[in-house]
Amino acid sequence: MTANIYRTHHCNELRPEHIGQTVTLSGWVNSARDHGGVIFIDLRDREGMTQVVFRPEENPETAQASHHLRDEDVIQLTGKVSKRLEGTDNTNLATGQIEIVVSGFTVLNKSSVLPFQLDVELSNEDLRLKYRYLDLRRPRMNRNLRLRHKIVKAARDFLSSKENDFVEVETPILSKSTPEGARDFLVPARLNPGKFYALPQAPQQYKQLLMVAGLEKYFQIARCFRDEDLRADRQPEFTQIDIEASFITEEDIYRLVEGLLKEMFQAAGHMNIPLPFPRITWKEAMDRYGSDKPDTRFGNEITDLCDVFAKSEFKIFRNTLDNGGVVRGVNAKGFAGITTGQMIRLNEVAHEVGLPKEVKQLAFIKYEGGEFKSPLWKFFTDEEKAALIKKVNLEEGDIVFFVAGPWESTCTILGRVRLEVAAMMETTKNSSALNFLWVYDFPLLAFSEEDQKWNAVHHPFTRPKSEDMHLLDTGSAGTLAGQSSNAAKGGSAPSLAQIRAVAYDVVLNGTELGGGSLRIHESDLQAKMFGILGVSEEDQKEMFGHILEAFQFGAPPHGGLALGLDRIVMLAAGEDSIREVLAFPKNNRGQELMTQSPGVADFRQLRDLYIASTFKPKAKEEGAAPQAN
Partner RNA sequence: GGAGCUGUAGCUCAAUUGGUUAGAGCGCCGCCCUGUCACGGCGGAGGUUGCGGGUUCGAGCCCCGUCGGUUCCGCCA
Work out whether 208 is an interface residue with RNA (CB under 7 A). Answer: no
**Helix residue spans in 459-536 (DSSP H):** 480-488, 523-532
Task: Name residues contacting RNA, limited to 372-431 (CB under 7 A).
Answer: none
Q: Which of 157, 180, 542, 608 binds RNA (CB under 7 A)?
A: 180
Query: Least distance from C-beta 179 to RNA, angstroms?
Result: 9
Query: Least distance from C-beta 43 to RNA, angstroms?
Result: 11
- The sign one gets for the Cα dihedral 303, 307, 313, 315 is positive
Beta strands in 396-502 (DSSP E): 398-405, 436-440, 445-448, 453-456
Counted residue by residue, the chain has a size of 629
Work out whether 616 is an interface residue with RNA (CB under 7 A). Answer: no
Return d(Cα 276, Cα 129) in angstroms, integer: 40
Return d(Cα 422, Cα 230) in angstroms, integer: 24
Cβ proximity to RNA: between 85 and 271 the closer is 85
Work out whether 90 is an interface residue with RNA (CB under 7 A). Answer: yes
- 376 torsion bin: left (phi>0), alpha (psi -120 to 50), beta (else): alpha
Cis peptide before 617 (omega within 30 of 0): no
Query: Least distance from C-beta 510 to RNA, angstroms?
Result: 11
- The sign one gets for the Cα dihedral 535, 537, 542, 547 is positive
Work out whether 70 is an interface residue with RNA (CB under 7 A). Answer: yes
Q: Which of 84, 156, 255, 270 binds RNA (CB under 7 A)?
A: 84
Identity at 43, one-letter amino acid code: L
Work out whether 99 is an interface residue with RNA (CB under 7 A). Answer: yes
Of the candidate spans 36-44, 153-161, 296-304, 519-527, the one that interacts with RNA by CB under 7 A turns out to be: 36-44
Task: Name residues contacting RNA, limited to 343-362 (CB under 7 A).
Answer: 348-349, 352-353
Work out whether 237 is an interface residue with RNA (CB under 7 A). Answer: no
Work out whether 204 is an interface residue with RNA (CB under 7 A). Answer: yes
Cβ proximity to RNA: between 99 and 295 the closer is 99
Work out whether 304 is an interface residue with RNA (CB under 7 A). Answer: no
Q: Taking Cα atoms as reference points, which of 67, 154, 58 lies closest to residue 107?
A: 67
Beta strands in 391-538 (DSSP E): 398-405, 436-440, 445-448, 453-456, 503-508, 511-518
Q: Which of 16, 37, 545, 574 binds RNA (CB under 7 A)?
A: 37
Q: Which of 42, 250, 287, 441 binds RNA (CB under 7 A)?
A: 42
Query: Least distance from C-beta 403 to RNA, angstroms?
Result: 16
Query: Least distance from C-beta 324 to RNA, angstroms?
Result: 23
- The sign one gets for the Cα dihedral 92, 95, 96, 101 is negative
In sequence order, what DSSP letters do the residues of 312-334 get, joined into one string? ---HHHHHHHHTT-EEEEEEETT
Query: Least distance from C-beta 277 to RNA, angstroms?
Result: 22
Cβ proximity to RNA: between 428 and 591 the closer is 591
Residues binding RNA: what is the number (CB under 7 A)?
72
Cβ proximity to RNA: between 192 and 595 the closer is 595
Of the candidate spans 2-10, 110-118, 318-326, 536-544, the one that interacts with RNA by CB under 7 A turns out to be: 110-118
Cβ proximity to RNA: between 305 and 355 the closer is 355
Query: Least distance from C-beta 586 to RNA, angstroms?
Result: 8
Work out whether 516 is an interface residue with RNA (CB under 7 A). Answer: no
Q: Indicate the SS3 state at residue 150.
A: helix
Q: Taking Cα atoms as reference points, which of 104, 101, 30, 108 lies closest to residue 65?
A: 104
Site string for RNA, 48-67 (x = CB under 7 A): ---x-x-xxx----------
Sequence-separated (6 or more) residues with CB below 8 Å from residue 188: 195, 196, 197, 609, 610, 611
For residue 303, the Cα-to-chain-centroid distance in whole angstroms is 29
Of the candidate spans 108-116, 164-172, 380-388, 518-526, the one that interacts with RNA by CB under 7 A turns out to be: 108-116
Of the candidate spans 47-55, 102-110, 355-363, 379-387, the one that interacts with RNA by CB under 7 A turns out to be: 47-55
Phi, psi (deg, nearest 5) at residue 86: -50, 125
Q: Which of 173, 182, 472, 594 binds RNA (CB under 7 A)?
A: 182
CA distance from start to end of the chain? 49
Site string for RNA, 449-478 (x = CB under 7 A): -x----xxxxxx------------------
Return d(Cα 463, Cα 253) in angstroms, integer: 15
Work out whether 33 is an interface residue with RNA (CB under 7 A). Answer: yes
Site string for RNA, 125-144 (x = CB under 7 A): xxx-----------------
Return d(Cα 311, Cα 573) in angstroms, integer: 52
The answer to whether the CB of 1 falls within 8 A of the CB of 9 is yes
Query: Least distance from C-beta 575 to RNA, angstroms?
Result: 11
Cβ proximity to RNA: between 258 and 580 the closer is 580
Cβ proximity to RNA: between 201 and 495 the closer is 201
- Tell me how crowded residue 138 is: count the other CB atoms within 10 A of its CB: 18
Work out whether 587 is an interface residue with RNA (CB under 7 A). Answer: yes
Sequence-separated (6 or more) residues with CB below 8 Å from residue 168: 156, 159, 160, 218, 219, 220, 221
Query: Least distance from C-beta 287 to RNA, angstroms?
Result: 19
Phi, psi (deg, nearest 5) at residue 296: -100, 20
Of the candidate spans 159-167, 198-206, 268-276, 330-338, the one that interacts with RNA by CB under 7 A turns out to be: 198-206
- Tell me how crowded residue 174 is: count the other CB atoms within 10 A of its CB: 11
Work out whether 116 is an interface residue with RNA (CB under 7 A). Answer: yes
Return d(Cα 160, Cα 167) in angstroms, integer: 7
Query: Least distance from C-beta 113 to RNA, angstroms?
Result: 5
In sequence order, what DSSP letters do the residues of 13-62 get, joined into one string? ---GGGTT-EEEEEEEEEEEEE-SSSEEEEEEETTEEEEEEE-TTT-HHH
Of the candidate spans 87-95, 143-151, 373-381, 396-404, the one that interacts with RNA by CB under 7 A turns out to be: 87-95
Query: Least distance from C-beta 62 to RNA, angstroms?
Result: 13
Query: Least distance from C-beta 486 to RNA, angstroms?
Result: 21
Q: Which of 65, 74, 94, 122 binds RNA (CB under 7 A)?
A: 122
Q: Which of 181, 188, 259, 557 binds RNA (CB under 7 A)?
A: 181
Q: Taking Cα atoms as reference points, which of 350, 351, 348, 401 lies closest to residue 374?
A: 401
Work out whether 234 is an interface residue with RNA (CB under 7 A). Answer: yes
Cβ proximity to RNA: between 12 and 90 the closer is 90
